[in-house]
């Protein structure tokens, strides 16, 4: 399988967004792949790279 096909298939597997909290206690979420764009909980995919985002909260 070539690299492009592999990359496209891997983006179909949902990944948790990266989280950042600033000094004002504001929390932001970023794509775990490209880290380029701030994303919100209503987004199913990153607008830049197309990575599927997993917003589901893990039960402890």
pTM of structure: 0.75
> What pLDDT score was predicted for residue 37?
73
**Which residues partner with 45 through β-bridges?**
52
> What pLDDT score was predicted for residue 18?
93
Q: Give the C-alpha distances (Å, rounded to integers) separating 30 from 4, 10, 14, 55.
A: 23, 18, 14, 12
> What pLDDT score was predicted for residue 36?
80
> What pLDDT score was predicted for residue 32?
92
Q: Where are the domains of the chain?
A: 1-60
> What pLDDT score was predicted for residue 29?
92
Report residues of the chain scoring pLDDT below 70: 1, 58-60
């Amino acid at each position: 399988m070539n690299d492009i096909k592999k990359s496209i298939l891997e983006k179909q597997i949902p990944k948790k967004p990266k989280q950042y909290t600033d000094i004002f206690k504001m929390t932001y979420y970023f794509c775990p792949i490209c880290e380029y764009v701030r994303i919100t909980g209503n987004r199913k995919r990153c607008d830049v790279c197309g990575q599927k985002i997993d917003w589901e909260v893990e039960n402890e």
